[in-house]
Amino acid sequence: MMKTSSNRWLGLLGATIIMWSSVSSVVATTSDQFDACEAAQDIGNGRCDLGNDIEECGFDGGDCCECTCEDGEYTCGQYYGYACIDPDAACVDDDAVTVDMMENCYDPSRIGNGVCDSLLNNEECAYDGGDCCECTCDPSRYPWYDSGVGCQTGMYGGFACIDPDAPCVDDDIVTAEMMDLCSTGQIGNGYCDDSNNSPECAYDGGDCCECTCESHDDGYEYYCEPGSFACIDPEAECVDDDDNTAEQYEHCGWVTRIGDGMCDDENNKEECGFDGGDCCDCTCVVSASAWSDYACQEVYNINSFDCLDTSASCYGDEDLTPGVGSMSYELSFFWDDYQ
């Protein structure tokens, strides 16, 4: 009995020694990679990790080249792009990414993915691999190619062609000078962006005037929506069709929200026309705006009115619930009612 028990303990001890030796061996063989690679545990998982895309990490185990990537935890190319710089890969020249780009561009795996990234739209990053010009963008490189989203203007962005070698470089109004001043991917996308509504940004490519806005058929319903404009372009024929002025951009929080039927704190002052009347029950007008479903009524337990306009006939009539006021851009909803 004692002998059998001893043999059993010896067997367990031997197995433990073998297991410990195996673990020690694994640690020893991978310690160099854990020191050199940004995420050694992700090598060969089917997703290109730029921190591993170096020789010491086996170029992320092949994940960063389309011809060497093998599906693992992720499906190759489905959600992330490639950045092939492995000199031994047969497809090393198939994309625009170079070793220099790995050092100079903020995310080389996004180069040539079918979406214009303004931070990559420069000569050092090959003008985002052609993504920012309609005539050079390749929609098949978009990760969700079957969705039909890549290489188009609309909800997911647009073009900003400044590549001097692109045949269509003059087809849009974006210039190299705009890159530092504007959100160029949103210019001319059919939605008025306050930050672009200036002469330096070509008045958002016409998006902020109803008569110059061009809609895009990408399933997003709010493009060129009546009530969502702030027309201050002096060259637009409809510049006088709304009450918005260039001066409002100096004093108001979100000009395109003035008069949309929802009281906004930052616009609720005289310089902004008390949010175009939105903050008083008797002056609020339900318009055909993007917020029309909630206009001139209580939304998410937020009282839509906070009447500060002394000229309004209902001034002083509102009895605001303590702690509940007009809409703020922080959208501080009261979730306790929904828990």
The 8-class DSSP code of residue 320 comes to P
Angle at 139 between CA 135 and CA 145, to 5 degrees: 170
Closest C-alpha among 220, 249, 252, 217 to residue 233: 249
Q: Is the Cβ–Cβ distance between 136 and 130 less than 8 Å?
A: yes
pLDDT tens string, the chain, 339 residues long: the values are: 444 444 444 444 444 433 333 333 332 335 666 678 888 899 999 999 999 999 999 999 999 999 999 999 999 887 778 899 999 999 999 888 889 999 899 889 888 888 888 899 999 999 999 999 999 998 877 765 555 567 876 555 678 899 999 999 998 888 988 988 998 878 888 888 999 999 999 999 999 999 999 886 655 555 787 767 899 999 999 999 888 888 888 888 888 888 888 888 999 999 999 998 989 989 988 765 545 555 777 555 455 688 999 999 999 876 544 334 455 444 433 333 333
φ, ψ for residue 157, nearest 5 deg: 115, -165
Burial of 313 (0-12, 13-18, 19+ CB in 10 A): exposed
Amino acid identity of residue 321, one-letter, is T
Q: How far apart are CA 153 and CA 321, in angstroms?
A: 44
pTM attached to this predicted model: 0.61
Question: What burial letters (b/e) apply to 220-258, b meaning 16+ CB within 10 Å?
Answer: eeebbbebbbbbbbeebeebeebebbeebeeebbbbbbb
Q: Is the Cβ–Cβ distance between 209 and 233 less than 8 Å?
A: yes
Q: Taking the domains of the chain in order of start, what are their residue ranges? A: 247-339
